Amino acid sequence: MLRRRGRRLPGMQPRFRSTSRFDAVLCDVDGCLVDEAGGPLPLEKLGRIAAHNRLALDAEDRPIVTLCTGRPEPFAECLARVIGNPLLPIVCENGAWLHDPTDNAYLLDPAVTAEDLAAVAALEGWVRRELGSAGVSIQPGKTASVSLYHPDAELLEAFKPRLRDAADGHGWPFRVSGTWSYINCDLRKVSKATGIARLLALTGIEAARCAGIGDTAHDLQIAESVAWFGVPHNRDPILDDAADRIAAAPGVDGVIELLAHLGPPVP
Ligand SMILES: [Mg+2]
């Protein structure tokens, strides 16, 4: 095997090359492909992205859409199957994990140490102990980060300073941030940017041949890692300066609109 994970070998052939401007689109999940608040998956529209990916694989005339998300690996792996991406890795847990569908490899960032994972477990215990009675729950499935949920987003937001104080007080190495409905506590050493860097190293695809799509502040790290960045209409305006294009439509309709803009037409 010629490739090594985490570092691109000189002269390495890219795993995928299209005849269009881009080889890959790194797409966020919540707010872009699915509704973060829940509800049925928009399977008909995700099916159009799967058809797009099928054409990418068959005709090599467009980029493959893959995922770059804060979601846990199992959720993201399932969604990657829904959108028909059997070739390019996905970035999960805001960069902590990659899943490579070509050999079913689960790739934790090698910079994450046993001490880091002990801090994750300690933070989980603290959240259950200190915030559990207030109705805060922990999103299941994450193993190298902690995401907090409460149905009242304003109440949840008010817990951020306590979380930051607890992390600082214990020396836990977390970055406390959030999406629309969750507080994310990610190891500072990982991010969507480090995840994308590992994906590019693993596949030999150049950043200059990648586009990205996202809707919240985490996705600035996607914007910084790719050559073109688009946002669905429902984006956080904090992304507007980084966006090459703002879709007229929200969510998955916006993603399809952005893919159509990059061309060729989405089936
Ligand atoms: Mg999102």
How many whole angstroms from 152 Cα to the centroid of ligand 1?
18
How many whole angstroms from 219 Cα to the centroid of ligand 1?
7
Does one domain contain both 28 and 105?
yes
Looking at the predicted structure, is the pLDDT value of residue 10 above 80?
Answer: no
b vs e for 60-70, b when ≥16 Cβ sit within 10 Å of the residue's Cβ? eebbbbbbbbb
Ion ligand 1: residue ranges with CB closer than 5 A = 28, 30-31, 215-216
How many whole angstroms from 4 Cα to the centroid of ligand 1?
30
Helices and strands in the chain, H and E counts: 8, 12
Residues 24 and 211 sit within 8 Å (Cβ to Cβ): yes
- Burial category of 180 from C-beta neighbours within 10 Å (exposed 0-12, middle 13-18, buried 19 and up): middle
At 214 the pLDDT is: 98
Choice among 60-69, 73-82, 118-127, 171-180 with the minimum mean pLDDT: 171-180
How many whole angstroms from 9 Cα to the centroid of ligand 1?
32
Domain count, the chain: 2
Residue 213 lies in a domain: no
How many whole angstroms from 189 Cα to the centroid of ligand 1?
20
Q: What is the DSSP string of 109-128?
A: -TT--HHHHHHHHHHHHHHH
The sign of the torsion formed by the CA atoms of 133, 135, 141, 147 equals negative
Residue 196, domain extent: 24-110+190-206+220-228+242-262
| Model confidence pLDDT, tens digit, residues 55-97 | 999 999 999 999 999 999 999 999 999 999 999 999 999 999 9
H or E element, residue 83: none
How many whole angstroms from 43 Cα to the centroid of ligand 1?
18
Does one domain contain both 159 and 39?
no
Does one domain contain both 29 and 102?
yes
CATH number at residue 53: 3.40.50.1000
How many whole angstroms from 209 Cα to the centroid of ligand 1?
22
Does one domain contain both 253 and 123?
no
Does one domain contain both 150 and 199?
no
Choice among 7-16, 32-41, 135-144, 256-265 with the minimum mean pLDDT: 7-16
Kindly report whether the global pTM for this prediction surpasses the value 0.85: yes
